A and B are shown apart, each in its own frame.
Chain A
């Protein structure tokens, strides 16, 4: 009895393919395909040398280091704490667990501008945490650490939400077997649980990284936007647009699009690996 295989061969029987598919394709063409072709054509109209000059200019290259580098660190930190949080939320029972679980999605729901000014207020030298860090000589707001805080915030849900269902489906019998064979809890985690979680952890980290690389709203308030120091790549696109340099803006946009596409391919590969693993276990 496999209902899926039965339905597959009769899928054409239902009405509405022409209408729904036609509408979807027209909608996506108007909203996505035509505007995106403008991105390619505008970049091409500037010529190869202008494209290369724009995307390798010192200030833009410095912004790559900030966007891609700090996003990477933020995604790794999310990887570590995301696994811990997912474990705690699935395996432990304590008062307030459901509220914590619902709040994980706050970075999806909270407008990025609100997150941006809230984090800045939190870490500005004379405010909440900033005041505590000042005597220690640590400055967070308007430095790269501030950008790191914003990008960690924005990527927080991804690892938790990709690892959570995998922990849920983990067969407890396997842990029991490991314990029977004499493994202590740490050994069981290191050699049984962690390998089973690894694909989902890497998927979560990649998704968090992809989101952080393109993030704009929550970063621009706390970063201070100092050229060569705390400018992110999306800000460079806006800077070019403000100078009415459309070809320059689209050149940098194309670089970001290519980078995001590469991250997407990696994350799809990891997801395929993840579901293959789950299918076997």
Chain B
């Protein structure tokens, strides 16, 4: 082999042997760019291009539509309920799973992962089976004129289901890696549970927590499958932004559909930016606390 003959003590391995040739490098970077262009850049670009295809005036007119405004409001409302609920759950679950060892711990961890591997459609289906017209409590609810399915409570439930893993999953590995020595030190100094949590744990995990909350919020505002099953698609009543996009699209109001879609695409880009930042800070915080 030609490469081996050049070995000497000062330069034990020629660079070419542990790195690809520049041709191979170019091909690999090129393939990555083609792949990313087809699946990431172009879909993103097409959203903004189509949103402005009828001009800026048409773009802003799409947001003047009362149904669109209601969809924005409903999406914000659902996220404002689901995200805090799942943040509290995530904190409680992470505290119990990383600070204690108990029977059935693995079962709880598997349950927390469940929404990530089951179809979102099933996430909607299970609530229809419980609260729907022909479901378990269907008659009981109808007699009392309480609507859950095809109404806002159902949308909130389905959203809570698909988004509850995110905060817990962001915190568990971080809190596991950080250990509990500082909390124990606080305990021996006489701090109570809340003081330990607020003054010792929370500052240590704040970036990991933010990371989870950002992902949870993005999914809550963008969920389609699960919400689609329970919503009933009633315009001005139970249409969230993703469902509103579907209606506009199916009515061939493409410019309006993409205008609304561009709002969610913008949210996705902000999410990616914040997430990358929080991830970086959480990693740094972990290195600092392990030092």
A interface, CB within 8 angstroms of B? 3-4, 7-8, 10-17, 19-21, 23-25, 27-28, 31-36, 38-39, 42, 81, 84-85, 87-89, 92, 94, 100, 102-115, 117-119, 121-122, 127-129, 149, 152-153, 156, 172, 175-176, 179-180, 182-185, 188, 210-211, 213-217, 221, 234, 237-238, 241, 244, 246, 249-250, 253, 256-257, 260-261, 263-264
Contacts and interface: CB of A to CB of B under 8 A. Distances in A.
Interface of B: 1, 3-4, 7, 12-14, 16-21, 24-25, 28-29, 31-32, 35-36, 39-44, 46-47, 50, 88-89, 91-93, 95-96, 99-102, 108, 111-114, 117-122, 125-130, 132-136, 157, 160-161, 164, 179-181, 183-184, 187, 192-193, 196-197, 215, 218, 221-225, 228-229, 241-243, 245-246, 249, 254, 257-258, 261, 264-265, 268-269, 271-273, 275-276
A102 B157 CA distance: 31
B3 A115 contact: no
A7 B179 contact: yes
B119 A27 contact: no
Given A23-B89, A92-B29, A106-B44, A17 B96 contact: yes
Contacts of A20: 91-93, 95-96
Given A14-B184, A35-B130, A102-B276, A24 B261 contact: no
Contacts of B132: 246
A17 B183 CA distance: 14
Contacts of A256: 118-119, 122
Given A87-B28, A182-B4, A185-B20, A221 B119 contact: no
Contacts of B91: 20
Given A11-B101, A39-B125, 7 more contacts: A16-B95, A32-B111, A34-B130, A81-B32, A114-B264, A119-B43, A121-B258
Taking each of A20, A33, A127, which has the highest tally of chain B beta carbons within 10 Å of its own beta carbon?
Answer: A20
Contacts of A8: 101
B188 to A, nearest CB: 9
B189 to A, nearest CB: 13
A185 B151 CA distance: 60
Given A92-B25, A153-B39, A24 B89 contact: yes
Contact of A39 (B35, B126, B197): B126
A118 B99 contact: no
Nearest to B184: A13
B43 A118 contact: yes
Nearest to A86: B32
A104 B44 CA distance: 12
A27 B89 contact: yes
B17 A14 contact: no
A169 to B, nearest CB: 15
A206 B265 CA distance: 27
A12 B18 CA distance: 50
B290 to A, nearest CB: 9
A253 B99 CA distance: 36
A52 to B, nearest CB: 20
16 contacts: A11-B180, A14-B183, A17-B100, A20-B91, A81-B31, A84-B35, A85-B36, A111-B264, A113-B261, A114-B264, A117-B47, A180-B17, A216-B225, A216-B228, A241-B125, A246-B132
A36 B122 CA distance: 9
Contacts of A36: 126
Nearest to B16: A185
Contact of A128 (B18, B40, B42, B100): B42
A106 B181 contact: no
Nearest to A18: B96
Contacts of B3: 179, 182, 184
B92 A19 contact: yes
A122 B126 contact: no
Contacts of A183: 1, 17
Taking each of A8, A104, A113, A117, which has the highest tally of chain B beta carbons within 10 Å of its own beta carbon?
Answer: A113
Contacts of B113: 264
Contact of A38 (B18, B136, B223, B241): B136
A39 B122 contact: yes
B35 A42 contact: no
Contacts of A216: 119-121, 224-225, 228
B222 A112 contact: yes
Contacts of A111: 221-224, 241-242, 264, 268
A89 B172 CA distance: 27
Taking each of B113, B125, B272, B273, which has the highest tally of chain A beta carbons within 10 Å of its own beta carbon?
Answer: B125
B1 A184 contact: yes
Nearest to B134: A246
A230 to B, nearest CB: 16
Nearest to A216: B225
A2 to B, nearest CB: 11
